[in-house]
Amino acid sequence: MQIGLVLFPKLTQLDLTGPAEVFFRMPGAKVHLLWKTLEPVTSDRGLSILPTMRFDDCAALDLICVPGGPGQIELMSDEETLGFLRRIAAGCQLVTSVCTGSLVLGAAGLLEGYRATSHWSSIDQLALLGAIPVAERVVKDRNRITGAGVTSGIDFALTVVADLLGEDIAREIQLQMEYDPKPPFDGGSPRSASAALVEATRQKIAPFIDRRRLATELAAARLRERAEGSVR
């Protein structure tokens, strides 16, 4: 099982390292950290991560996963990355994402007509890219599997393992990792947080979400241009 996780500057590292921890424990799996070069990639919080394979050297994968994070905004118009995703996804058994990585898949034209999820603050933007937003922690639609915000990456990856290798293997990995979350507070999603907290958080991040929405709108316009060009 050849698994690739995309690295990019200013990604949220847990979007990547949560699923990676699960995938590295999969029997028979080979996990690749993919980027344009093999130079260190710095996350949004300053952690440097080393890619293990360049896009150009990646011929085929069984599973591709795109994490999210602030750098996703720039990735939405990065044709080298989007082109790689379109090329590699064509031969993948599963095309997946965590958090706002789903917006990058959407920008590549890989979620049109699929149910998908994303971080709660931006899930509505999926509709601009032809996807069907679903506010769930993990969403499966045919060979697309998407995880919601940041910490859902572990749930997402365990779901993938169960689908590919069976629930017994997924349960074993969950136990190895002692993944038995009991958060100190309720309120980790808009479904459980108070309305006042949700609104205050929305207001705090509103300027950034506006930047993300603009990138999504531009990506949607480019998808329409591609579709019109293919019809001509």
Catalytic residues: 99
| Alpha-carbon distances of 137 from 75, 154, 188, 232, rounded to whole Å | 23, 10, 11, 40
Contact status, residue 117 vs residue 146, Cβ threshold 8 Å:
yes
Which burial class, exposed, middle or buried, applies to 210 when counting CB atoms under 10 A from its CB (0-12, 13-18, 19+)?
exposed
- Three-state DSSP class for residue 58: coil
Could you write out the DSSP letters of every residue in 60-120? --SEEEE--STTHHHHTT-HHHHHHHHHHHTT-SEEEEETTHHHHHHHTT--TT-EE---T
